[in-house]
Amino acid sequence: MFSILISLIILFFVIIDPLTSFVVFFVSTKGFDKKTKMKIAILSVLLATIISYLVLFLGNNLLQIFSTDINSFKIAGGIILVILGINMSLGKSFNDIEKMEGDSVHAVASIIATPLISGPATITAIIISSSDFGKLLTGAAIGIILIIIAILFYLSIRYHNITNKAKTTIQVVTTIMGLITLAWGVNYVLSGIQVVFNLI
């Protein structure tokens, strides 16, 4: 049982990739003050937690409620990831992008929550893992990863000055992560489209 839990933790760590979430959070919130950053962090983790555990307990039924399927979700999530990847690669923050929209806090939080943390790959993995290994172990593994993400977000806010001193390094990492995120987005879109066209 313990070995299965460790395996699931590793699985979700690779799929969700807390380090990427950390970099995106840092870049997306670099123009905000600490109080606003904390609000974004809490909202992001809370939304991701709600989505993840709704999927855990409801699975495919949740997608059916909204008259969609995992492939449509892949396409929609992939498009958002493509936009996110392009902006990261170009060094743009969501504060700059959403400044004119007025509600940038919720916009940033929702994009970090999904598709970045609880995106199509995560949802698919949750549904499959809960079916193969049970809801208890799957839920525990997801919870541990979400806690790791929350800690990383807190460290980004708490030690912002230290992080700022490594701006060049972070910008390089951000560009690389942006390209990877862009590739994931393209892959999600192509994967979803391929399945849809095969069904037609």
Query: Confidence class of residue 161 from pLDDT cuts 50, 70 and 90?
Result: low
Is the per-residue pLDDT at 101 higher than 50?
no
**Helix or strand or coil: residue 118?**
coil
pLDDT at 170: 63
The domain ranges of the chain are 2-199
User: Mind listing the pLDDT tens digit for each residue in 176-198?
Assistant: 777 776 887 787 788 778 876 77
Is the per-residue pLDDT at 48 higher than 90?
yes
Is the per-residue pLDDT at 73 higher than 80?
no
Average pLDDT over residues 67-74: 72
Residues 6+ apart with CB under 8 A from 196: 71, 72, 75
Question: Residues 77, 83, 89, 94: is their CA dihedral positive or negative?
Answer: negative
Given a contact cutoff of 8 angstroms between Cβ atoms, the answer to whether 127 and 11 are in contact is no
- Looking at residue 117, the DSSP 8-state letter turns out to be I
Using a cut of 0.75, tell me whether the model's pTM lies above it.
no
| Lowest-confidence region among 19-23, 101-105, 114-118 | 101-105
Alpha helices in the chain (DSSP H): 2-16, 18-28, 34-58, 60-65, 70-89, 94-98, 104-111, 120-133, 135-158, 160-165, 167-199
User: Mind listing the pLDDT tens digit for each residue in 132-154?
Assistant: 788 999 999 999 999 999 998 99
Range from 19-23, 47-51, 62-66, 179-183 that averages highest in pLDDT: 47-51
Supply the angle between the helices 2-16 and 135-158 in degrees, to the nearest 10: 50
Please provide the size of the chain in residues.
200
pLDDT at 163: 56
